[in-house]
Amino acid sequence: MSALSSSDSIGEGLGATPRNAPGQTKLWIVLDFLTILAATLIAIAHELHLGPIAASKRFLAGTLFQAHSTPILLAILLGFSIALVVISRRFHLYTPVRLNSHLHEQHLSFRACFTAGLMLTGTLYLLHASDIPRRVVLITVGLVTIALSARRFLYRILLYSRFNRGIDTRNVLIVGTGPEAHALRHHIESIRHLGFVFKGFVTLTDGCASIPSASADVVCSLDSLFNQARMRFVDEIFFTVPCERGVVQDVLDKARAHGIELRVVPHLYGGLAWNAPIEYIGQFPTIPLYCGRVPEFGLYLKRALDIVFSAMVLVLFAPLLLLIAMVIKLDSHGPVLYASERIGKKGRVFRCLKFRTMVQDAEIRLAEVLHMNERDGVLFKVTNDPRITRVGRILRKYSLDELPQFINVLTGDMSVVGPRPPIASEVKEYKLSHLRRLDVKPGITGLWQVQGRQDPSFDSYVSLDVTYIENWSIWLDIKIIMRTVGVVLAGTGS
């Protein structure tokens, strides 16, 4: 069974692709508050010709203006912040950015700031707060408008660049093969900023309307929907034809169990979609019946930890990296780095970097050592592999050959902590349950590296990876990193 498909994640918890649910919405709201505070301090510093530090001290001490104007300004700014957040929510500016166009989002952002700004200036007029310079208010509103628009624009640029690389996209299956199904497929494929990847059509059972299914892109029937969804790392399922209530209810229950989101193109479905909000995918109306919860804030913290930790390692160990490169070059012929194709999150293929530890023709000589495999089933491991160079044995003993993978972490292909990235030949041998390992980004180290070396079986390998995915937390990542340091220093690497 081949499980190779491109792009990014399924299920709840660590394996889910981030979207603007409660966690991320709260993060955007906090950033809006901080933006308003920063814009106010800049406006005050400019108006009163103060440095940013002096302006901040006087602002916090309440001595910027005469009498009680500073507390009044603080209260009004708090009201402005709340008004901006409420209006932004009303305009759906905290919903997934992929669901709106960039220009539409910028238009709504400007309207939200302008409306909240009018409320701010109107409040100042009614309070007769003449000690507060009006230019401070106008500059603040202007800076907030520019900052929020710029932030949303830059975020989209970063998001679209990740979509183009197949990262953070959402795989979809479409139930139905009629005109609506093909129209939806064309829609999500033609509007790239939506970030969806079409994975196939699903034919219907007897409980649904009879629709011709001659499309070459039909991958299964409704009976085997969730097996295919697992194999294709599907994030969302779209219903485009009316079915009996019981059929849709059964799919909905299974979607919840598998952590896959379910949407329908508007039909009543016997009451299942009553009072449900319509959410537009581009210009295509859909009704979400189930949306999984994702720990967005935790995932952002994990990514921040990856970037900071990887950057620190690459900078601090730069002399060691250079020394290793020189020694490898002197020890044997061939390139310093070895880039092998590995299977990452949701079957996405990427080039995993390592220091070369084998002779240059190691892949050609693989057949010579296949009979020496010390692992069971899928895994391949030879302790005294004759293809390993003298320097390579030392690098592997202390896991130094994996240092270049911190570059993969910075580019977003890997994480510091996670399941090890398998090669394609291993994934082809996976059973359906083994694909759970590919729900998250692969890591340089993981639970197996620090806990499971005494049991080298593949079942133990998968079990520890699944345990990590289902019990993930930032604190667990930190503990694994700390224990990895001990493993490396002890020289128990491969």
- Answer yes or no: are the C-beta atoms of 324 and 355 closer than 8 Å: yes
Give the containing element (helix H, strand E) for 466.
Answer: helix 458-470
User: What digits encode the pLDDT tens for the residues 364-422?
Assistant: 777 677 666 666 666 667 667 778 888 988 898 888 999 999 999 999 999 999 999 99
Q: What is the percent of the chain where pLDDT is above 70?
A: 75
Separation in Å, CA 234 to CA 42, 198, 229, 281 = 46, 9, 5, 17
CATH architecture of 170-293: 3-Layer(aba) Sandwich (3.40)
Q: What is the pLDDT of residues 84-117, one digit of tens each?
A: 999 988 888 887 665 667 787 888 899 999 999 8
Mean pLDDT of 206-227: 73
Q: How confident is the model at residue 53 (pLDDT cuts 50, 70, 90)?
A: low
Residue 122 amino acid letter: G
> 13-17, 121-125, 188-192, 326-330 — which is least confidently predicted?
13-17
How many angstroms separate the CA atoms of 169 and 484, rounded? 31
> pLDDT (tens digit, 9 = 90+) per residue, 18-34?
444 556 778 888 899 99
CA separation for the pair 409, 423 (Å, rounded): 18
pLDDT of residue 156: 86
* H-state helical runs in 317-429: 318-331, 390-397, 405-411, 424-427
Report the range of poorest mean pLDDT among 96-110, 301-315, 417-431: 96-110
Confidence at residue 359, expressed as pLDDT on a 0 to 100 scale: 84
Q: How many CA atoms lie within 13 Å of 239's alpha carbon, on the beta-carbon side?
A: 31
Pairing state between β 337-343 and 415-417: unpaired
The tokens for 372 are: 């020496």
* pLDDT tier for residue 4 given thresholds of 50, 70 and 90: very low
Element (H, E) at 414: none
Please give the pLDDT value at position 22.
56
Rounded-to-integer distance, Cα 152 and Cα 161, Å: 14
The average pLDDT across 187-209 equals 79
Q: Which helix (H) or strand (E) holds 262?
A: strand 261-264
The confidence score (pLDDT) of residue 26 equals 81
Contact 373, 382 (CB under 8 A): yes
Q: What is the pLDDT of residue 291?
A: 67
Integer Cα distance of 291 and 169 in angstroms: 16
- Report the candidate in 128, 115, 40, 54 with the shortest Cα–Cα distance to residue 84: 115
DSSP per-residue codes, 124-188:
HHHHT-TTS-HHHHHHHHHHHHHHHHHHHHHHHHHHHHHHHTT-S-EEEEEE--SHHHHHHHHHH
Lowest model confidence (mean pLDDT) among 219-233, 274-288, 358-372, 387-401: 274-288
Instruction: Give the length of the chain.
Output: 494
Least confident of 195-199, 360-364, 379-383, 490-494: 490-494
Residue 239 has what pLDDT? 87
User: With bands split at pLDDT 50, 70 and 90, how would you rate the model's confidence at 1?
Assistant: very low
The pLDDT score that the predictor gives to residue 16 is 44
Going from N- to C-terminal start, the domains of the chain cover: 20-164, 170-293, 297-490
Helices marked H in 178-295 — which ranges?
Answer: 179-190, 225-231, 245-258
Per the model's pLDDT, the better-predicted residue between 128 and 188 turns out to be 188
pLDDT of residue 79: 85
Mean pLDDT of 463-478: 87
Displacement of CA 117 from its chain's centroid (Å): 34
Judged against a pLDDT cut of 90, whether residue 449 lies above it is answered with no
Q: What is the pLDDT of residue 51?
A: 62
* Cross-strand partners of 425: none
At residue 144, the pLDDT reads 93
Residue 204, SS3 per DSSP: coil
Which pLDDT score is estimated for 416? 94
Token pair of 213 as six digits: 């299914």
Interatomic CA distance for residues 34 and 403, integer angstroms: 37
pLDDT of residue 122: 81
pLDDT grade for 211, boundaries at 50, 70 and 90: low
pLDDT at residue 212 in the model: 54
The residue to which tokens 């953070």 are assigned:
168
Q: Confidence band (pLDDT; 50, 70, 90) for 77?
A: confident
3-state secondary structure of 200: strand
Higher pLDDT, 269 or 471: 471
Alpha-helical segments (H) within 200-317: 225-231, 245-258, 296-316
* Per-residue confidence (pLDDT) for residue 131, from 0 to 100: 65
**Predicted pLDDT at 8:** 36
For residue 343, is pLDDT > 50?
yes
Residue 436 banded pLDDT, cuts 50, 70, 90: confident
47 pLDDT above the threshold of 90: no
Flag whether pLDDT at 297 surpasses 70.
yes
Which range scores top for mean pLDDT: 293-307, 316-330, 361-375, 383-397? 316-330
Contacts of 68 (CB under 8 A, 6+ apart): none
Q: Tens of pLDDT along 152-188?
A: 999 888 888 888 888 888 999 999 888 878 888 888 8
pLDDT recorded at residue 199: 92
Q: How many CB atoms lie within 10 A of CB 364?
A: 10
Q: What mean pLDDT value characterizes the chain?
A: 79
